[in-house]
């Protein structure tokens, strides 16, 4: 028979721990990543006029990337601190704790590349394309757009693809880490 646990002030205060904070950080990061990647953007794209959608994404994604970098960096630091074998075996990715650190580092790097490089470049091209649409009096995907518009479309598509791949890599790395946490736990030293 299972032991019945009675909640007390002491047991409730015990919930506030580093492990509890880690679990909340992970759940926040993974949930936010899933929402942004698979739901929020799709809903906004289907609901808003294109220029409003672009403006929303331009404001939303930097916040998402900063939160992702902050949470995953904190988690990586805590993971490394509670799993000293990460530093001992840092060049051995098949060591389980090191693989988890690599997964968290992949999230940091993917979202940092999006925040510092790919995102700003994508926004720049997006705004150039919108400006050219006004000058030409045509939407970017209409027949007969200029070669300059076609070049901007190609550049935007490539940058958007790189950003999406980096973000998807972060989501997959978080999924891997979450499966590890669910099966093994946060167990450290």
Q: What is the pLDDT along the chain (189 residues), one digit of tens a residue?
A: 788 989 999 989 988 999 999 999 999 999 999 999 999 999 999 999 999 999 999 999 999 999 999 999 999 999 999 999 999 999 999 999 999 999 999 999 999 999 999 999 999 999 999 999 999 999 999 999 999 999 999 999 999 999 999 999 999 999 999 999 999 999 876
Q: Where are the alpha helices (H) located in the chain, listed in sequence order?
A: 9-13, 18-34, 41-47, 50-82, 85-88, 96-113, 119-136, 147-183
Q: At what angle do helices 147-183 and 96-113 cross, to 10 degrees?
A: 150
Cα torsion for 109, 113, 116, 121, to the nearest 10°?
A: -170
Phi, psi of 174 (to 5 degrees): -65, -40
* Residue 3 lies inside a defined structural domain of this protein: no
* Cα–Cα distance for residue pair 64/179, rounded to 1 Å: 22
Give the pTM: 0.92
Q: Do residues 53 and 187 make contact, with C-beta atoms less than 8 angstroms apart? A: no
| Structure tokens given for 25 | 């950080």
pLDDT of residue 82: 96
* Residue 22 lies inside a defined structural domain of this protein: yes
Look-up of token digits 């891997």: 176
* Residue 111 lies inside a defined structural domain of this protein: yes
Query: What letter would DSSP give residue 16?
Result: -
- CB atoms near residue 141 (< 10 Å): 10
* Residue 117 lies inside a defined structural domain of this protein: yes
* Residue 1 lies inside a defined structural domain of this protein: no
* Residue 155 lies inside a defined structural domain of this protein: yes
Parent domain of 36: 16-184
* Residue 2 lies inside a defined structural domain of this protein: no
Count of structural domains, the chain: 1
pLDDT of residue 123: 96
């Amino acid at each position: 028979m299972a032991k019945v646990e009675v909640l007390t002030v002491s047991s409730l205060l015990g919930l506030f721990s580093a492990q509890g904070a880690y679990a909340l950080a992970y759940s926040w990061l993974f949930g936010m990543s899933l929402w942004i990647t698979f739901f929020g953007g799709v809903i906004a794209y289907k609901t808003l006029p294109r220029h409003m959608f672009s403006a929303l994404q331009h404001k939303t994604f930097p916040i998402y990337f900063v939160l992702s970098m902050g949470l995953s960096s904190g988690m990586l630091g805590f993971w490394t601190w509670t799993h000293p074998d990460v530093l001992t075996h840092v060049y051995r990715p098949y060591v389980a704790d090191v693989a988890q650190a690599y997964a968290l580092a992949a999230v940091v790097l993917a979202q940092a590349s999006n925040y510092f490089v790919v995102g700003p470049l994508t926004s720049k091209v997006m705004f150039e394309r919108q400006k050219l649409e006004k000058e030409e009096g045509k939407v970017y995907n209409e027949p007969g757009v200029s070669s300059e518009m076609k070049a901007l479309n190609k550049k935007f598509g490539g940058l958007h693809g790189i950003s999406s791949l980096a973000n998807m890599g972060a989501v997959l790395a978080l999924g891997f880490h979450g499966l590890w946490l669910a099966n093994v736990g946060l167990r450290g030293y």
